[in-house]
């Protein structure tokens, strides 16, 4: 074990209260113009490291306790797809170094990150071996960088998550494993959320739960199942979009008010009108926490104001809370006695 690891670590923090982990780097950097939608490879850690560093800092400022290295989709299969496999190691090491710098300066935790490979095929030994090798190389880079914990996320197959967990556990670091549920209330091999979580918990994960695909209101029922099925720490990182029973994932959302999309789906770059506001994220946080969820965040689409809403819903005041709204001095809608009555009393401004 690395004795230089920061104290308190993940497990001690979870014993003391909820832990917040901001995600959503792909979507936010895409919106800011530093990452291409489609292949969604985190080349920004090589091409615009200052922007990645800045976003890490913004999430910490807003209340994140974990700085997750931006290696989501930074694995061998994705880099092969874009013809840049030779950049694999440099990309991972850069991502970990940038996140480690922000974690060190802020006293937060550095997390290594493994994710869905899109290569895993049940029963195909060749794919299983390739997936394990991909996880092993990324986990080793995370250990080299001094990670405080390691996250495996967005898996659609419990079996793929279990391979990742096996590799993650060999690092000796605390582990967080989260599954992504698509339209069906089951993993691709047919596990319910509770069954999947139990298999992962039984295999030794410290934190199990759900991330991505589902918005707050369609993730909550699955979280109830998870909470009823495991005794370990539970994670919830929904996408901040207004999914509902008929369109339970952000991929399934359709926008009847817009006829100028490139295709049929608003996903992934025209989801703006479905974005949850900060009050909805706060409401989700309270409901999830009441179920026993104690590792909270938002995934694709999340922005710093969502993270601050999570923190404040948990009773915290991160540095960004200094700028939380105070409408009392608003020129037209405020209540302060010094405001101009001809503005505050004007019905034409509403």
What does the binding site for Zn ion look like in residue numbers (CB under 5 A)? 212, 299-300
Among residues 164 and 300, whose Cβ is nearest to Zn ion?
A: 300
Among residues 44 and 198, whose Cβ is nearest to Zn ion?
A: 44
Neighbour order of strands in the sheet with 295-296: 19-20, 295-296, 233-237, 207-211, 175-179, 149-155, 109-115, 66-68
Among residues 198 and 274, whose Cβ is nearest to Zn ion?
A: 274
Residue 189 beta carbon to Zn ion: minimum distance, rounded to whole angstroms: 21
Among residues 62 and 198, whose Cβ is nearest to Zn ion?
A: 62
Residue 117 beta carbon to Zn ion: minimum distance, rounded to whole angstroms: 15
Residue 26 beta carbon to Zn ion: minimum distance, rounded to whole angstroms: 7
- DSSP 8-class letter at 207: E
Contact predicate 150/142, CB 8 Å: yes
Among residues 14 and 212, whose Cβ is nearest to Zn ion?
A: 212
What's the count of helices (H) and strands (E) in the chain, helices before strands?
Answer: 13, 8
Contact predicate 232/201, CB 8 Å: yes
| Nearest residue to 293 (alpha-carbon basis) of 166, 218, 207, 169 | 207
**Nearest-angstrom CA–CA distance, 228 and 75:** 34
Residue 330 beta carbon to Zn ion: minimum distance, rounded to whole angstroms: 35
Residue 321 beta carbon to Zn ion: minimum distance, rounded to whole angstroms: 25
Residue 72 beta carbon to Zn ion: minimum distance, rounded to whole angstroms: 8
Among residues 69 and 299, whose Cβ is nearest to Zn ion?
A: 299
C-alpha pair distances (Å), 71 with each of 44, 52, 245 = 10, 11, 32
Residue 181 beta carbon to Zn ion: minimum distance, rounded to whole angstroms: 12
C-alpha pair distances (Å), 142 with each of 40, 44, 117, 192, 207 = 21, 18, 17, 31, 18
**Main-chain dihedrals φ then ψ at residue 135, nearest 5 degrees:** -65, -40
| Nearest residue to 92 (alpha-carbon basis) of 129, 161, 43 | 43
SS3 at position 178 = strand
Among residues 171 and 251, whose Cβ is nearest to Zn ion?
A: 251
Helix (H) / strand (E) element for 285: namely helix 278-291
C-alpha pair distances (Å), 210 with each of 6, 158, 213, 219, 342 = 26, 12, 9, 8, 51
Can you say whether the dihedral through the CA atoms of 211, 215, 216, 222 is positive or negative?
Answer: negative
Among residues 56 and 198, whose Cβ is nearest to Zn ion?
A: 56
Among residues 135 and 250, whose Cβ is nearest to Zn ion?
A: 250
Residue 105 beta carbon to Zn ion: minimum distance, rounded to whole angstroms: 26
What are residue 245's DSSP bridge partners?
none
Residue 300 beta carbon to Zn ion: minimum distance, rounded to whole angstroms: 3
């Amino acid at each position: 074990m690395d004795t230089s690891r920061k104290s308190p670590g993940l497990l001690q923090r979870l014993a003391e209260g909820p832990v917040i982990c901001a995600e959503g780097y792909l979507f936010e950097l895409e919106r800011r113009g530093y990452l291409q939608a489609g292949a969604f490879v985190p080349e920004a850690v090589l091409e615009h490291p200052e922007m990645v560093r800045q976003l890490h800092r913004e999430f910490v400022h807003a209340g994140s306790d974990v700085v997750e290295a931006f290696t989501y989709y930074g694995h061998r299969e994705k880099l092969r797809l874009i013809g840049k496999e030779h950049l694999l190691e440099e990309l991972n090491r850069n991502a970990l170094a940038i996140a480690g710098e922000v974690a060190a300066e802020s006293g937060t935790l550095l997390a290594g990150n493994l994710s869905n490979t899109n290569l895993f095929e049940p029963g195909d030994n060749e794919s299983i071996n390739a997936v394990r090798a991909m996880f092993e190389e990324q986990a080793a880079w995370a250990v080299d960088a001094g990670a405080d914990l390691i996250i495996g996320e967005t898996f659609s197959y419990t079996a793929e998550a279990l391979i990742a967990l096996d590799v993650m556990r060999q690092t000796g670091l605390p582990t967080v494993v989260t599954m992504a549920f698509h339209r069906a209330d089951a993993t691709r091999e047919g596990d319910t959320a509770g069954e999947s979580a139990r298999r992962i918990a039984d295999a030794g994960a410290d934190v199990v739960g759900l991330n991505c695909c589902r918005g707050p209101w369609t993730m909550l029922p699955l979280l109830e199942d998870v909470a009823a099925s495991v005794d370990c720490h539970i994670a919830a990182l929904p996408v901040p979009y207004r999914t509902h029973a008929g369109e339970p994932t952000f991929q399934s959302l359709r926008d009847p008010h817009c006829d100028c999309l490139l295709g049929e789906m608003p996903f992934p770059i025209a989801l703006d009108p479905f974005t949850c506001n900060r009050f909805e994220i706060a409401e989700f946080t309270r409901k999830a926490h009441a179920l026993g969820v104690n590792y909270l965040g938002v995934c694709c689409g999340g922005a710093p104001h969502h993270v601050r809403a999570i923190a404040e819903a948990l009773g915290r005041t991160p540095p960004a809370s200094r700028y939380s709204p105070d409408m009392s001095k608003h020129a037209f809608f405020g209540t302060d006695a010094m405001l101009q009555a001809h503005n505050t009393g004007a019905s034409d401004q509403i």
